[in-house]
C-alpha cells in the first residue's frame, strides 16, 4: 500500500467510561465511505442520518441545499484534514443525537504488517443499541437490564434480543474486535 494512511480515534461523547475505537483508513477516503467505516467500527446499523462537521462546514448524505450542508461523497478526508491532532465531529441519528469526536492521530501512519487499507486496531466498550433514547435512555436501559425487578427489565431483554450478536444479552463492557474486523473485510470486498 503506497497510499497515505490515516490513524483515527473516535470517541462517543458524554458517556463514561469512554466508548472509543482506533482505526486506519486511506487519506483518500470520501466522507460517505468514512461514515460506512465508522458505522462498522462503532457497531451502529446505519439506520439514521449522519453529519460530519469539519471547521465550520457540515457534510451529510443528502442535503436539501448548502444551508443544510455539503454532499459528503464529494469530499475526501485528506483534502479536509491534514494536521495531526486535528479533531472534527460526527453526529449520528439526529433524534438520539449520538455525537462523536474524531481525532487524526497520525496522517502518515505506517505499519508494514497492515494487510488492508481499512483496519480497526482497538477499542473499548459496546456502542448503545439503536433507538435506545439518547444518553439518558441508554443509562436507563443499562439500569433496567441489571435489575430483574425493574419494570422494564423483561421488555428491554426482549428488545435487545433482536439485535445482531446480542442473543438477549447486552454487555456494555464488551468490544469484539474480531467481529469488527470480519465486518470491515466484508465491506472492503
pLDDT digits (tens, 9 = 90+) for 70-90: 999 999 999 999 999 999 999
Phi, psi (5° rounding) for residue 12?
-80, 120
Grid cell at residue 42: 462503532
Q: For the chain, which residues make up each domain, given as ranges?
A: 5-126+174-188, 127-172
Tell me the pTM: 0.94
Stretch 48-54: mean pLDDT, rounded?
96
Q: Quote the pLDDT of residue 68.
A: 80
Give the strand order in the sheet containing 98-109: 70-71, 57-60, 50-54, 87-92, 98-109, 5-12, 19-26, 119-124
CB atoms closer than 10 angstroms to residue 120 = 22
CB-based contact 22:122 (threshold 8 Å): yes
Percent pLDDT > 90 in the chain is 81
**Helix or strand holding residue 136 (H, E):** helix 134-146
More confident of the two residues 180 and 65: 180
DSSP 30: B
pLDDT at 168 over 70: no
Torsion of CA 74, 78, 82, 86, to 10 degrees: 70
Fold of 5-126+174-188: 3.10.290
Whether 107 shows a pLDDT value over 90: the answer reads yes
Given a cut of 90, is residue 167 above it in pLDDT?
no
Whether the bond between 17 and the residue before it is cis, its omega within 30 degrees of 0, is yes
Closest-CA residue to 62 (of 54, 53, 50): 50
Closest-CA residue to 164 (of 119, 136, 189, 130):
130
Amino acid at each position: 500500500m503506497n497510499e497515505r494512511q490515516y490513524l483515527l480515534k473516535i470517541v462517543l461523547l458524554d458517556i463514561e467510561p469512554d466508548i472509543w475505537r482506533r482505526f486506519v483508513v486511506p487519506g483518500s477516503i470520501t466522507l460517505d465511505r468514512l461514515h460506512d467505516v465508522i458505522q462498522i467500527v462503532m457497531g451502529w446499523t446505519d439506520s439514521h442520518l449522519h453529519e460530519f462537521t469539519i471547521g465550520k462546514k457540515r457534510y451529510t448524505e443528502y442535503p436539501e441545499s448548502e444551508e443544510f450542508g455539503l454532499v459528503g461523497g464529494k469530499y475526501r478526508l485528506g483534502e479536509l484534514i491534514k494536521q495531526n491532532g486535528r479533531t472534527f465531529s460526527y453526529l449520528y441519528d439526529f433524534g438520539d443525537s449520538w455525537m462523536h469526536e474524531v481525532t487524526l492521530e497520525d496522517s502518515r501512519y505506517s505499519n508494514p504488517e497492515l494487510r488492508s487499507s481499512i483496519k480497526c486496531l482497538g477499542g473499548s466498550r459496546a456502542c448503545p443499541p439503536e433507538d435506545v433514547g439518547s444518553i439518558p435512555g441508554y443509562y436507563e436501559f443499562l439500569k433496567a437490564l441489571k435489575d430483574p425487578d425493574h419494570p422494564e427489565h423483561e421488555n428491554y431483554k426482549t428488545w435487545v434480543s433482536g439485535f445482531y450478536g446480542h442473543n438477549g444479552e447486552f454487555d456494555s463492557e464488551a468490544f469484539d474486535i474480531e467481529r469488527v474486523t470480519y465486518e470491515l473485510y466484508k465491506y472492503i470486498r
